[in-house]
Amino acid sequence: MTAVMHVLPYLTAAYVFVVGCYGLATSRNLIHAVGCLAVCQSATYVLLLAVGYRDGGTAPVFSDLRPGSRPVADPVVQALTLTDIVVGATVTALLLALVVQISKRHGTVDPDELRELRG
């Protein structure tokens, strides 16, 4: 049973990524596509946190214990996850701003109607 519990976060990350990719591939709306891209990005949060998890681990604060006496969560992975969240929010905001500009200039957010932009 414990082997399944160690694999479960990785399976969850893969499932969330596949769902986001499916939504991205079948989207007929640019706003929906940006949302699906954000779902794909959230799969990386789960993956990074699964990599940094330690059974019985505590916070990586060493003021009350000797280093190496207990397992601790990896602080580098936690920092990478926070950085990933900030970058994901920034990319989502930028893409939504681009969708607003496309909507203003072309009057639609349907990618099929924007085929006229090709050369």
Q: Is 14 helix (H, G, I), strand (E, B) or coil?
A: helix
DSSP state of 67: T
Instruction: Tell me which residue has tokens 């990524």.
Output: 17
What CA–CA distance (Å, rounded) separates 43 from 29?
22
Instruction: Tell me which residue has tokens 């969330």.
Output: 16
Q: If you count DSSP H runs as helices and E runs as strands, how many of each does the chain have, helices first? A: 3, 0
Residue-wise pLDDT tens for the chain (119 aa)? 566 778 899 999 999 999 999 999 999 999 999 999 999 999 999 999 888 877 777 777 766 667 667 777 778 888 999 999 999 999 999 999 999 999 998 888 888 888 766 65
Does the reported pTM lie above 0.85? no
